Amino acid sequence: MFDRLLAATAPAALMFAALAALAAPAVAQKDPGAPGDEHPAKLKLADDGYGYTRRVVDIPMRDGVKLHTVIALPAHAHDAGMLMTRTPYDAETIATRDPDVYASWSGNPDTADDPITAGGYIRVFQDVRGMHKSQGIYMMNPAPAGTPFNPTKTDDSTDAYDTIAWLVKNVPESNGRVGVIGISYDGFLPLMALVNPHPALKVAVPMNPMVDGWRGDDWFHNGAFRQQMMPYMLSQDGTRDADTPWIAGQADDYDYYLKGGSAGAIGKAQGLDQLGFWNKITQHPAYDRFWQEAAMDKVLAKRPLTVPTMLVAGLWDQEDMYGAPAVYKALIARGTPTSMLYLSVGPWWHGQQARADASQLGAVKWDQNTAKWWRAHVLAPFLAHYLKTDAPAMDVAPVTAFQTGTNQWQTLPAFPAAGAAGVPLYLKPGGALGFDAAAGPAETRDYISDPAAPVGYRARPVKALYATGSTWHQWLTDDQRSVSGRPDMAAFETPVLTAPVTISGAPQVHLTASTSGTDSDWVVKLIDVYPDGKTGGREMAGYQLAVAMDIFRGRYRDDPAVARPLASGVPLKYDFALPNTNHVFLPGHRIMVQVQSSWFPLYDRNPQTFVPNIFFAKPSDYVAATQKITVGGPDESYISLPEVK
């Protein structure tokens, strides 16, 4: 959610602008337009160079609150479909400046091949309640109205409904057909529009949507808190204009968060305890009703899907990789027909599919511009079919998925691919890994996890997510050799593969392990190890590409809603899913599994001593612990791969 390179470069820019303003000397300000002032009272922007005209309106909602809305009409618009993006990231900025999927103008060379621009749609951008120029109160990703954690009578579903009702009555250039589209937080909002859709809503495209902030999206992953999201919380929840700066004393976030102590202590030092959302999440560190009632996969599974919807997911989405597949899975389980539900899965970082180029991600190249192909062959015909009056035919499969390794697109009836079945990949003594169980009695692979020197999630220095030069968007494809030699982790590797291993879906972790502490985190990584320099290409020789990896907070082993201490020194079972993948391990490659107990500073440190709330752990609570992974024997650890034969 913090990676708003499509919908919200504005908050990051505003953050840095605010820092600059703090350092600048105070200058007496005049009222705009006053005698001698060179600024006009109100600047009117020229429309000619953009190929569209703008209408700015404040649309009244059912409770009288007005939401600031920018309507961008292409030149000579007539009988045109409307495509709406609701956002907390400043509708004015998005409508006039950002290209990508939000493009509105035909004269911008950066969007010459953009299907939205080429489609001639009327674009609508709206500030959500309480943000920028919209009235009302703001709540971060609020649960539906009427639930205990949203006591108001309105939500993003009712606001979408009321906005669409106004648009179809007041935009005569339209054909009365409306679509909703957005990425991340702006992808959560199309999902809310589906809760009680207006009859004029004909299509929805939630891209990389924020769905469940505890299970695997922005705020937590399986109970482990993503503390590098705290600057976003301060900016977004601090003021209506999302311009509160985060000021850190170190250039390396590893140093900053380590010296700061617990996430709660850092939050207090930065003033987050003044924010409603921060106080909510620190009061709800477990998966209780606060999270469950706001989880959009659960919300949407309670009702039939009546609007054709295309969910879009990135295989290396560094922010919201959980959401789209979770909604897809929930709606398929409900019996939603494939004529109503579509899924696109690409080799992308958060929202990369909507940018100009996606021929590679970090060091990994895909042999084609995957984003351009997807926009032209999937997104464009899908939108046209439902938004244009003549409803041109489309040939879009229920699932369009990119298979990495072979680097080719697949059209599938469902995801995971047909035939995917769990095949155990066993962790063995001596760092071995294989599809046959280990012979002999149980053994352990041991390492010491020390919160005073946590394992980093990427090579240092670790820049703040949006610092100059940050490559946050590609970190999930970073070479894992940066940590594979550390003594405080365990690595297991197969022999060189002689045949391809194809997987599709979510690998399942079945880890048996003990800790000398009373709480522990477990990070498990499934890795494709490229051939060395003698048998493979030079650029990727020996590269360790993480295909799927995630973290699990041990205190939620029995119940995600209830934290319990771990029995010290007792081997316990930890079962959890890794993110979805669609990959082929090629002959000549190896498969590796890495296990560690910290992923810092993206995730807060587990003190490894059980405390009621890790947000407020004291320095004395953080202790080193001996971790023992069971390899071999009846309770040996393994990864269940969704292998396609």
Angle (deg, nearest 10), helices 263-270 and 253-260: 100
- Secondary structure letter of residue 13 according to DSSP: H
Listed in sequence order, the residues at least 6 apart from 355 whose beta carbon sits closer than 8 Å to its beta carbon are: 5, 6, 100, 371
Alpha-carbon gap, residue 167 to 177, rounded angstroms: 10
Reported as a single tens digit per residue, the pLDDT across 92-125 is 888 775 534 444 444 454 554 577 778 889 999 9
Alpha-carbon gap, residue 360 to 334, rounded angstroms: 36
- Residues 22 and 245 sit within 8 Å (Cβ to Cβ): yes
Token representation of residue 16? 């840095």
Q: What is the pLDDT of residue 418?
A: 85
**SS3 assignment, position 398:** coil
Reported as a single tens digit per residue, the pLDDT across 546-574 is 999 999 999 999 999 999 999 999 999 99
Q: Could you tell me the CA-to-CA distances from 539 to 246, 475, 529, 536, 628 in Å, in that order?
A: 37, 17, 13, 9, 36
- Is residue 134 pLDDT above 90, yes or no? yes
Q: Kindly report the CA angle at 218 between 215 and 224, in degrees rounded to 5?
A: 55
Tally the residues of the chain: 645
Reported as a single tens digit per residue, the pLDDT across 603-639 is 999 999 999 999 999 999 999 999 999 999 999 999 9
Residue environment code for 494-505, b if the CB has 16+ CB neighbours within 10 A, otherwise e = beebeeebbbbb
Any idea which of 286-295, 323-332, 341-350, 353-362 has the lowest mean pLDDT? Answer: 353-362
Alpha-carbon gap, residue 216 to 211, rounded angstroms: 9
Dihedral (CA of 204, 210, 215, 216) sign: positive
- Residues 621 and 609 sit within 8 Å (Cβ to Cβ): yes
Residue environment code for 392-431, b if the CB has 16+ CB neighbours within 10 A, otherwise e = eeeebbbbbbbbbbeeebbebeebbbeebeebbbbbbbee
Alpha-carbon gap, residue 413 to 341, rounded angstroms: 11
Instruction: For the chain, report the end-to-end CA distance as a whole number of angstroms.
Output: 36
Assign 81 a pLDDT band (cuts: 50, 70, 90).
very high
**SS3 assignment, position 45:** coil
- Residues 635 and 512 sit within 8 Å (Cβ to Cβ): yes
Q: What is the pLDDT of residue 9?
A: 36
- Residues 385 and 604 sit within 8 Å (Cβ to Cβ): no
Mean pLDDT of 389-393: 95
- Residues 479 and 594 sit within 8 Å (Cβ to Cβ): no
The amino acid occupying position 634 is P
Smallest Cα–Cα separation from 362: which of 320, 315, 402, 311? Answer: 315
Mean pLDDT of 63-89: 93
Reported as a single tens digit per residue, the pLDDT across 527-544 is 999 999 766 567 899 999
pTM above 0.85, yes or no: yes
Residue environment code for 531-550, b if the CB has 16+ CB neighbours within 10 A, otherwise e = beeeebeeeeeebbbbbbbb
Smallest Cα–Cα separation from 397: which of 349, 345, 348? Answer: 345
Reported as a single tens digit per residue, the pLDDT across 194-252 is 999 999 999 999 999 999 999 999 999 999 999 999 999 999 999 999 999 999 989 99
Smallest Cα–Cα separation from 531: which of 569, 588, 485, 478? Answer: 588
Per DSSP, the chain holds a count of helices (H) and strands (E) of 15, 27
Any idea which of 115-119, 122-126, 178-182, 259-263 has the lowest mean pLDDT? Answer: 115-119
Q: What percent of the chain has pLDDT over 70?
A: 90
Q: What is the pLDDT of residue 467?
A: 85
- Secondary structure letter of residue 342 according to DSSP: E
- Is residue 340 pLDDT above 60, yes or no? yes
Reported as a single tens digit per residue, the pLDDT across 18-62 is 333 333 344 444 565 677 888 888 777 665 556 678 899 999 999
Assign 357 a pLDDT band (cuts: 50, 70, 90).
confident
Angle (deg, nearest 10), helices 230-238 and 276-283: 140
**All domains of the chain in start order, with CATH:** 9-26+51-214+292-412 (3.40.50.1820), 421-643 (2.60.120.260)
Dihedral (CA of 364, 369, 373, 379) sign: positive
Average pLDDT, the chain: 91
**SS3 assignment, position 277:** helix
